[in-house]
Amino acid sequence: MPGNSIGHLFRLTTFGESHGAAIGGVVDGCPAGLKLDLDAVQRELDRRRPGSTSLGTARNEADKVEFLSGLMDGITLGTPIAFLLRNTDARSTDYDALKDVYRPGHADMTWEEKYGIRDHRGGGRSSARETAARVVGGAIARQLLAQEGVQVQAYVEQVGSERVDRPYTDLDLASVWNNDVRTADPEAVARMTALIEQVRAEGDSIGGVIACVVRDVPVGLGEPVFDRLEADLAKAMLSINATKGFQIGNGFAAAALRGSQNNDPFILGWRRRPGPGMIGARVEEGAIRTATNNGGGTLGGISNGEDIRFSVAFKPPATIAKAQHTVDRSGSAVVIEAQGRHDPCVVPRAVPIVEAMTCLVLADHLLRNRTVRARNFAPQQH
Amino acid sequence: MPGNSIGHLFRLTTFGESHGAAIGGVVDGCPAGLKLDLDAVQRELDRRRPGSTSLGTARNEADKVEFLSGLMDGITLGTPIAFLLRNTDARSTDYDALKDVYRPGHADMTWEEKYGIRDHRGGGRSSARETAARVVGGAIARQLLAQEGVQVQAYVEQVGSERVDRPYTDLDLASVWNNDVRTADPEAVARMTALIEQVRAEGDSIGGVIACVVRDVPVGLGEPVFDRLEADLAKAMLSINATKGFQIGNGFAAAALRGSQNNDPFILGWRRRPGPGMIGARVEEGAIRTATNNGGGTLGGISNGEDIRFSVAFKPPATIAKAQHTVDRSGSAVVIEAQGRHDPCVVPRAVPIVEAMTCLVLADHLLRNRTVRARNFAPQQH
Amino acid sequence: MPGNSIGHLFRLTTFGESHGAAIGGVVDGCPAGLKLDLDAVQRELDRRRPGSTSLGTARNEADKVEFLSGLMDGITLGTPIAFLLRNTDARSTDYDALKDVYRPGHADMTWEEKYGIRDHRGGGRSSARETAARVVGGAIARQLLAQEGVQVQAYVEQVGSERVDRPYTDLDLASVWNNDVRTADPEAVARMTALIEQVRAEGDSIGGVIACVVRDVPVGLGEPVFDRLEADLAKAMLSINATKGFQIGNGFAAAALRGSQNNDPFILGWRRRPGPGMIGARVEEGAIRTATNNGGGTLGGISNGEDIRFSVAFKPPATIAKAQHTVDRSGSAVVIEAQGRHDPCVVPRAVPIVEAMTCLVLADHLLRNRTVRARNFAPQQH
Amino acid sequence: MPGNSIGHLFRLTTFGESHGAAIGGVVDGCPAGLKLDLDAVQRELDRRRPGSTSLGTARNEADKVEFLSGLMDGITLGTPIAFLLRNTDARSTDYDALKDVYRPGHADMTWEEKYGIRDHRGGGRSSARETAARVVGGAIARQLLAQEGVQVQAYVEQVGSERVDRPYTDLDLASVWNNDVRTADPEAVARMTALIEQVRAEGDSIGGVIACVVRDVPVGLGEPVFDRLEADLAKAMLSINATKGFQIGNGFAAAALRGSQNNDPFILGWRRRPGPGMIGARVEEGAIRTATNNGGGTLGGISNGEDIRFSVAFKPPATIAKAQHTVDRSGSAVVIEAQGRHDPCVVPRAVPIVEAMTCLVLADHLLRNRTVRARNFAPQQH
């Protein structure tokens, strides 16, 4: 069972090695009749691009996406949407020295042990370059979600020991794209930037945490029992390179709480709902809401209409300029030292990837949720 | 796309409502020729049973599993293994009062909004009773894994503010079944027990964390890019009722580390490997190992042969004896107060569930890994 | 990838060996809120039962289906519907003589070569008894389809050299259940019955063909390119024991025709459409119809609203009373001669199975078709 | 559930519209370490190309396949193999007249009714041009099968009323590529050619039948109960444009036979088996064979090692030069008459497509069959 696809009804398959001819993907299951803003797709891709922030690597990929199918006059046909990004800045000879060495913290050894062969150039398919295809797929998913009024925004919550101290409800999430750290707290920008620059100067790297918030989610997304919404989100996040953890709502902090503290009481309130043909337009009164949101937007694996909020831990990038002990393919101990410039911290560039994976999961569940009721079967109440 | 199955090649489908005729499941894809120890399956089930620890609820289900198919003389036929557990202690009228009320922290509201109907008796299918079927499926998976020498053991790492302070390598994990808290640290048993009893006396509940360790894992399990081993583990864990977080290796702590601290240097060492027809028998010299295990047993989504170690956060059970504000189906504010006895803390009984889900994920990847190389294609080196 | 499930959104998984504890299945994905007529399910099962026609075997299975989950007060919950049929008349010792012999035309040899083990009692899982679970799943699917007005009816079109000579449009398909041959042509009943009785008297068996007609199918079912409606129907039919061929519309006869003969001209006409909450109630004028139906109800893999008509070839049952040469497990040539009474012709009892598989395929595509258009995207015309 | 993928472990996804930027596909699950002969892939593609036979259309597509990923030095990496074919001869304006008309026998109406939109240029995605991507995928599958010694060869068995009268065992199947009709019977070439030319001159079209033979198939391929080998072959064949029927072994003729005629007696004989690293090299004595092959190579859905033989019916191409009555999108009756040159008979060019789909199904089952036995579980006998 190959593992290069995600989603059941809205399904992305990606392909490509870092230094092969191209990377790309196929979105299968995007409904027909969606007017796609292709410039918006490219803009999301630009945010992930090396060089998009001053805090990333200097690898320069134009990363212009080419669409091959599935569209006519910018409208989806209901057929597979294939796309590719040519690999133009692939200086593969840079990697000759790494052909026979297993870099600590990288996938070199495990891929080779699994497949008996690996493309060592730029990490081959284990390179984070593959995530560019996810961003394209996620950008399409986002436009499908926008029809329902759903909004997805992630931001950097932590870089090393530097954290955002305020709850997301006190932040202007749209400000993320105004700073190179991709955080939503103006107060944290300088602290985080300074730490990343310091780590870079030391030839080292640093980890971080990205938080993600989804607003105006329809009630009912998520398929119990195994495909709970948070389960599919957890999988999607842990499928991103360098991630080490996922938590939703109070997450690990909930382990230290009592039920009387952690339960979210139900109350009656209002909720925004997209009207026919419009977005975010109608206010539904008498909706069942929760007074608090310790749960993070799901109950029993199904969205409850509150903001979905979760966070994702990233390890420090494995590539560092410092000397490291390791082993080569002949079974000898060697010392390696990375040349060139690399990302000292992955989280600024990973923000669009977290968003993309979130959009993919939600779009899939949006479609799945269309099939759960028999024709003309109305809810029992209100 | 119904969400009641997990796994691709080793696939478990579960069914059943808490107060219906039965719960059960079908394991499809279990290879032929496996001699199943059915008593061992029942023993695992007994560990999850209400009443298995003094710290759980008083609901009394004998929970004897009946196998319906897939076996002849205790040997798997390669056909679906179906099984069921009758619901014998289902006092459904106890739940009449809850028919029209949405309990805070429960799935009542979201299930009803999604499906337009719900079985309110004992939580219906959202009840944790469903996990009994997972334990059966996981117990079968465990016996398949045992052929490769793989060992899975979980333990309670935290109850509320009470934690195990020592690394798992200093613990006797097999001691878990000797105490009712299901922890591996004898020193922590009293502290955790006291806290749970105190919380119970207050009519409240408390959260916790379960750690899981997998030993002697073959190198090569996990399918990049989306079906990384840690991604599928994360999904499996977040599909368990009441879970709020997952982390592998250093997890969220890795976010605060530098690459020079977090990278695991490769070294040459030895590794246990199962020999032909035997288990855990052969020692492989000159294996590529890591000096530390900050990564938690995977690199690039593929097992590297080190111990897989991860942990899972559980929220405090939503059912508490204290009065809570909520809303009923007619849209009126009401106050509810749970009657009877309930689990004040879910983690002791969730230990076998975490193990079962781990076994299911690993067994699936074990089979998937059989198809990744062309006939007669040998690894490139050592 | 285990092969015991069919369907993506409406999915049936079956389990069970002929002489194990039970056979049964799980329907996952049946939408919530469907009022199931369980007696109607049992009636369909009764039509497949050994003994249901005077022309079948004498094995006597009561075959009362027991539902285990997924229903409350007869209404589907949107959760898995599990069911089982106990094996009560399993005289396994009858089969001891066959333990080491490979019966010609049976799956004994291939199953054993594949799995290294087989349950020889009554054919184990390769027994047609497994199809009882399909009939239950199909009966549920049929009730979902009935909400859209879809009607599925099969009939015996050929037994050996005896054929129904008239087109189905000249037949009263509902008359199928009035005769033991299960044909819709009263004129053919006697001819077919006589042939079957003659073959039985000779200790031999005979093949046949079943035709199936689906009326009032919504336009739009079928997912190009691989999951065309006729492709999924073909697979479903060839998955039935003893089937050797499938053809739709003019089928193999189309190979001898010219385009000017075989094309179905489009015309404007009317079509029945189910109204809100009613069945088969509304007449749509100005619908695009075809003047003829050589295609058999699909174009480009998608239903066009005309009657779907196809037929399925069955080989003569492999079990005959005549002496046959074969081989045993030790590699010796032996002669076998079947004892007891067996079906001389399988098609009468296979009619409900063909219908069940048809219903399963259509129900799956009915749900799949709910997700192909973006919100509020209306067709371009009329 | 989008329908643009086929296979579970060896999976092909195709994309592309006839007049879009490109068509192509992604093969996911091809094992690592397979040395691919890319020229051989192109050669198979050339056989399907318009212009490859004198009996096809004059549309001129160079159809050079470009590989984008999954290979290093011509060896598969175990990662997705993506490829594309640019659409270079797409004169879309030729199709303006067809924008608002539903051609009889084409998918225009059903696609538009289903999706609410269609790409009318050259049939969009319903064009047989999509099958070029299948041929590429099938060519890769064929090279995987070659490692096991499996050989797949199809040929034209019937064009209109002209048939090959001899059994395939009397034919030199390799001679198929020596004539433009793609038949294996030299005696039939002239008859079939004359008929096609005559039909072409009349502005009409004609149907046909393709037979396919698979030799040296390993015993054990096919997953009961729903994914029987013949079921998956039937689906694959009926997923090809213009197909109307499938039969295996004696097929529909078996319906008229008795069991004593149709059963294949088991005998002891020999069988070719690929040795370690070699192909078709070893002869296995004492193998269980059948004296006849009425079944067509499977028993109970599993290959029995005999030649797999089946045939596929194709309708006459829908596009003809004669005037036809139809309807346009505004709901008016119109008369259309196709301009330009079209395939008068599809079967010569469909031979490589039938082979490709056969290879895809077999490769998938080859990999699936690797997971059916527990470690070290040996067959019970010989």
CB pairs under 8 A between A and B: 428
Q: Quote the pLDDT of residue B379.
A: 57
Q: Quote the pLDDT of residue D237.
A: 98
How close is the nearest chain C Cα to the Cα of B285, in Å? 34
Number of DSSP helices (H) and strands (E) in chain B, helices first: 7, 19
C143 → chain A, closest CA residue: A374
Q: Which residue in C24, C80, C116 is closest to B4 by CB distance? A: C80
Q: Quote the pLDDT of residue C98.
A: 79
Burial of B111 (0-12, 13-18, 19+ CB in 10 A): buried
Report which of C216, C230, C211, C232 is spatially closest to residue C361, judged by C-alpha positions: C232
- CB-based contact, D4 to chain B, within 8 Å: no
- Number of domain units in chain B: 1
How far apart (Å, rounded) are the C-alpha atoms in residues B26 and C57? Answer: 30
Q: What backbone phi and psi angles, to 5 degrees, belong to A99?
A: -60, -35
Answer whether residue B90 is part of any domain. Answer: yes
CB contact under 8 A, A21 and D84: no
Please give, one letter per residue, the 3-state secondary structure of C23-81: EEEEEECCCECCECCHHHHHHHHHHHCCCCCCCCCCCCCCCCCEECCCEECCEECCCCE
Helices (H), D175-316: 186-201, 229-238, 259-262
D125 → chain A, closest CA residue: A79
Answer whether residue A382 is part of any domain. Answer: no
Report which of A172, A377, B246 is spatially closest to residue C77, judged by C-alpha positions: A377
Burial of C67 (0-12, 13-18, 19+ CB in 10 A): buried
Edge to edge, the sheet with strand B333-336 lists: B101-102, B324-328, B333-336
C window 54-93, beta carbon within 8 A of B? 66-72, 75, 77-82, 84
Per-residue pLDDT of chain D (382 residues; tens, 9 = 90+): 689 999 999 999 999 999 999 999 999 999 999 999 999 999 999 998 877 777 766 556 678 999 999 999 999 999 999 999 999 865 666 677 778 999 999 999 999 999 999 999 888 999 999 999 999 999 999 999 999 999 999 999 999 999 999 999 999 999 999 999 999 999 999 999 999 999 999 999 999 999 999 999 999 999 999 999 999 999 999 999 999 999 999 999 999 999 999 999 999 999 887 654 444 467 888 899 999 999 999 999 999 999 999 999 999 999 999 999 999 988 899 999 887 768 899 999 999 999 999 999 999 999 999 999 998 787 544 4
Q: Quote the pLDDT of residue D59.
A: 59
Would you tell me how many other CB atoms lie within 10 Å of the CB of residue A65? 20
Q: Name residues of chain C where pLDDT drops below 50.
A: 276-280, 380-382
Tell me the pLDDT band of A346, cut-offs 50, 70 and 90. very high
Structural domain of residue D291, as residue ranges? 5-376
D window 135-154, beta carbon within 8 A of B? 144, 147-148
Answer whether residue C382 is part of any domain. Answer: no
Q: What is the mean pLDDT of residues B172-184?
A: 95
CB contact under 8 A, C113 and D232: no
Burial of C199 (0-12, 13-18, 19+ CB in 10 A): buried
Q: Which helix (H) or strand (E) holds C135?
A: helix C131-146
How close is the nearest chain A Cα to the Cα of B36, in Å? 25
CB contact under 8 A, A11 and D2: yes
Contacts of A1 in chain C (CB under 8 A): 1
SS3 state of residue B212: strand
ipTM: 0.96
How far apart (Å, rounded) are the C-alpha atoms in residues C49 and C60? Answer: 8
Structure tokens at B254: 């890795």
- Is the CB of residue C181 less than 8 Å from the CB of residue C210? no
How close is the nearest chain C Cα to the Cα of D73, in Å? 31
Rounded to the nearest integer, the mean pLDDT of chain A is: 92
How close is the nearest chain D Cα to the Cα of A16, in Å? 5
Q: Which CATH number fits the domain that encloses residue D120?
A: 3.60.150.10
**How many Cα atoms occupy the beta-carbon half-sphere of D367 within 13 Å?**
29
Q: Which residue in B1, B4, B79 is closest to C8 by CB distance? A: B1
A116 → chain B, closest CA residue: B379
Q: Quote the pLDDT of residue A379.
A: 57
CB contact under 8 A, A147 and C9: no
CB contact under 8 A, A263 and B105: yes
Report CA torsion sign: D289, D290, D296, D298. Answer: negative
Out of A42-46, A268-272, C20-24, C166-170, least confident range: A268-272
Cis check: omega of the bond before B219, within 30 degrees of 0? no
Q: Which residue in D1, D68, D71 is closest to A84 by CB distance? A: D68
Rounded to the nearest integer, the mean pLDDT of chain D is: 92
- CB-based contact, B26 to chain C, within 8 Å: yes
Q: Quote the pLDDT of residue C248.
A: 98
Contacts of C371 in chain A (CB under 8 A): 9, 29, 31, 367-368, 370-371
Q: Which helix (H) or strand (E) holds C283?
A: strand C282-290
Please work out, in degrees rounded to the nearest 5, the angle formed at the alpha carbon of residue D135 by the alpha carbons of D125 and C234.
Answer: 70
- CB-based contact, B317 to chain A, within 8 Å: yes
The whole-angstrom distance between residue C270's C-alpha and the CA centroid of its chain comes to 30
Answer whether residue D239 is part of any domain. Answer: yes
- Is the CB of residue D238 less than 8 Å from the CB of residue C312? no
SS3 state of residue A167: coil
- CB-based contact, D251 to chain B, within 8 Å: no
CB contact under 8 A, B374 and D277: no
Contacts of C7 in chain B (CB under 8 A): none
Answer whether residue D381 is part of any domain. Answer: no
- How is D87-124 classified by DSSP, letter by letter? --S--GGGGGGGTTEE-TTSSHHHHHHHHS----GGGG
CA distances from D59 to A68, A167, D36, D54, D147 (A): 21, 63, 29, 12, 36
State yes or no: pLDDT of B215 exceeds 90. Answer: yes
C371 → chain B, closest CA residue: B1
CB pairs under 8 A between C and D: 429
Structure tokens at B343: 């689990």
Beta strands in C87-150 (DSSP E): 101-102
CA distances from A325 to B263, B268, B270 (A): 10, 11, 18
CB contact under 8 A, D144 and B374: yes
CB contact under 8 A, B204 and A260: yes
Answer whether residue C381 is part of any domain. Answer: no
CB pairs under 8 A between B and D: 65
Q: Which residue in A111, A208, A320 is closest to B302 by CB distance? A: A111
Q: Which residue in C277, C372, C376 is closest to A277 by CB distance? A: C376
DSSP state of D134: H
State yes or no: pLDDT of A97 exceeds 90. Answer: no
Contacts of C115 in chain B (CB under 8 A): 32-33, 77-78
Answer whether residue A194 is part of any domain. Answer: yes
Per-residue pLDDT tens over the stretch A356-382:
999 999 999 999 999 999 987 875 444
Answer whether residue D326 is part of any domain. Answer: yes
Q: Write the CB contacts of B299 (distance below 8 Å, at least 6 apart in sequence).
A: A105, A106, A107, A109, A110
Contacts of B8 in chain C (CB under 8 A): 1
State yes or no: pLDDT of B286 exceeds 70. Answer: yes
Tell me the pLDDT band of B57, cut-offs 50, 70 and 90. low
Q: Quote the pLDDT of residue B280.
A: 47
Q: Quote the pLDDT of residue D192.
A: 98
How far apart (Å, rounded) are the C-alpha atoms in residues A161 and A168? Answer: 18
- pLDDT > 90: what percent of chain B? 82
Q: Quote the pLDDT of residue C281.
A: 60
Q: Quote the pLDDT of residue A271.
A: 86
Q: Quote the pLDDT of residue D280.
A: 47
- CB-based contact, C379 to chain A, within 8 Å: no
Structure tokens at B92: 């459904």
Q: Which residue in A5, A70, A84 is closest to D28 by CB distance? A: A5
Report CA torsion sign: C22, C27, C32, C36. Answer: negative
Q: Which residue in B32, B276, B376 is closest to D374 by CB distance? A: B32
Rounded to the nearest integer, the mean pLDDT of chain B is: 92
